[in-house]
Structure 1
């Protein structure tokens, strides 16, 4: 008797083509690896994909959380998986920082993974506790110049885009402010709401629910256009930081070497799933996401730019995880 294990299921799945006709064939399995703990925006995206892809691909879709090593642990898991569409990485903007932030990265994020789809982007938002006096980022700059290193800001971790964006802004403004890293958005939000730190730089998805509750006040956003829900909050360019942009982004990767027809089929299936009206509404309202749906080539170009931009900030400021 043959023992049915996850390995044998995946081996069987590897022999099945990714095509609409798959629904009539014996179903296989596809694992969506999320390199972060459950509960975050990337995990929510993967679970939203789970149901739609299951119907479109005729496969059993499993979401597996593999946090660790700044997201590299989950990325390595996918990179070492069969290049057949049976394992995908659903990840976040910090993926582009892996080459610079880790002294010995366990993978080459450009060579070991194949971009499938850039789902969307959202700006970062800098906010202050509602009891602090800051109304604009210019107020922060003035206070920091008067008393260097007395203003604190939270991020969701060392080397995250929120941390790097604030590092770059402080450098361009000629100020010194103190970084207080947290392990995730929940603890960071708790401390800005509680007044234990002066500022926070987090994705719009993290910040806007607290703004609605009047516990924190937005003072600047880092996209090129104002979000509708933050129509009264300056973008960085309006605050004197020309061409400055820091974006949260969400994307899907496959193992390098996955045949292009398989990558293209996956890209279309993911796009179609997230183009459903309910999915669009959810992503726009809960993540403040601008949907991009950039295909493999567009995603590859975007990703290379992100690696270059944030890698230089890490290196210039000697930042290490």
Structure 2
């Protein structure tokens, strides 16, 4: 992986963790020059939060929590609209083309940048077609292995992959998603070859790993924690630069001998490009209030994510860094995803 992309990845978590102290960052020029000033009564009608995945997924659950709490904070109706398909591209395209009036928002997660970076057919630009509103939360993935795999650490895994290139099989939630690209990042960083097998979600990949058909997956901590606790799989490391409080005994990537790798799954609200600054600011202030609520923080802890309050500008910096870092991985690995 090129040095500049490594540096971008190192900066991403630092950006997120510093949001509380930088909430007053300047607004980007395009946002600061937003269109007309909205009515002081905004929102005057229900606001749709589009989830580009099916009901029941982690992104959907986050959207419903945020919609409920934003409604309470802003004394308005926020409704979730699931528009699934094409690894999130369908719902994302829908929001990109919606009126920039604050009444259609996107609950963005990691596929927002990974799919745009790796799938030419995604047909949306995360940097040009969207206005950042606010980050909600972030959390790492966890590397997990079949219990029979003769490796109990990332360094042992890398050594095994080097001795037997192509023999190990890794299951992802689908080509172009963060679960796929985190493998490609590891391969680029270590010069190893591990076979990628895309599934329709992490759950079936995990079942095949437990059954021995494949040896490795990464997934969110809530998705894999039950299997880690009952001994069905063994955790090797979390994908972030620091440990997770949900898995305090599992090393970070840096502790696992891979400094500079820092991958987090994120949840954020985005609006169509051109949404007036006053609306964005109003929504951002409400999001920052929501993620500080005790009941929301308790839910985040249960879901192994951390609140990430901050300004629209800070979210914009994060999205750009994430997108460009994954573009570098795609280029380095010469990935061709249709």
TM-score range, shorter chain: 0.7 to 0.9
- How far is the alpha carbon of 1:203 from its aligned partner? 2.4
Q: 2:255 aligns with which of 238, 245, 251?
A: 238
In structure 2, the residue matched to 1:198 is 215
- How far is the alpha carbon of 1:71 from its aligned partner? 1.5
Closer, same or farther in 2 for the Cα pair 1:316/1:22, shift >3 Å? Answer: closer
In structure 2, the residue matched to 1:267 is 284
Contact 1:34 1:63 in 2 (8 A): yes
In structure 2, the residue matched to 1:221 is 238
- How far is the alpha carbon of 1:170 from its aligned partner? 2.0
Closer, same or farther in 2 for the Cα pair 1:229/1:108, shift >3 Å? Answer: closer
TM-score of the superposed pair, with normalisation by structure 2: 0.84
TM-score of the superposed pair, with normalisation by structure 1: 0.88
- How far is the alpha carbon of 1:171 from its aligned partner? 2.6
Q: What is the RMSD computed on CA atoms of the aligned residues?
A: 2.0
Does 2:337 match 1:317? Answer: no
SS of equivalent residue, structure 2 residue 219: strand
- For 1:62-88, what per-residue CA distance to the aligned partner results, in whole angstroms no more than 9, with x for missing partners? 211111222121111112112111110
Does 2:121 match 1:67? Answer: no
- Distance in 2 of aligned mates of 1:102 and 1:75: 13
Closer, same or farther in 2 for the Cα pair 1:18/1:52, shift >3 Å? Answer: farther
SS of equivalent residue, structure 2 residue 309: strand
- Distance in 1 of aligned mates of 2:150 and 2:39: 56
- Distance in 2 of aligned mates of 1:249 and 1:269: 18
- How far is the alpha carbon of 1:260 from its aligned partner? 0.5
5+ residue gaps in structure 2?
A: 1-35
- How far is the alpha carbon of 1:17 from its aligned partner? 4.8
In structure 2, the residue matched to 1:129 is 146
- Distance in 1 of aligned mates of 2:263 and 2:245: 18
Higher mean alpha-carbon deviation, 95-104 vs 177-186, is at 95-104
Q: 2:75 aligns with which of 51, 58, 61?
A: 58
In structure 2, the residue matched to 1:182 is 199
Q: Larger Rg: 1 or 2?
A: 1
Higher mean alpha-carbon deviation, 181-190 vs 115-124, is at 181-190
Q: Which has the higher contact order (CA 8 A, sep 6+)?
A: 2
Q: 2:120 aligns with which of 93, 103, 109?
A: 103
Closer, same or farther in 2 for the Cα pair 1:234/1:55, shift >3 Å? Answer: closer
In structure 2, the residue matched to 1:252 is 269
Contact 1:100 1:315 in 2 (8 A): no
Higher mean alpha-carbon deviation, 92-101 vs 148-157, is at 92-101
Closer, same or farther in 2 for the Cα pair 1:235/1:219, shift >3 Å? Answer: same
- How far is the alpha carbon of 1:22 from its aligned partner? 5.6
- For 1:19-42, what per-residue CA distance to the aligned partner results, in whole angstroms no more than 9, with x for missing partners? 5x568xxx5111110011111111
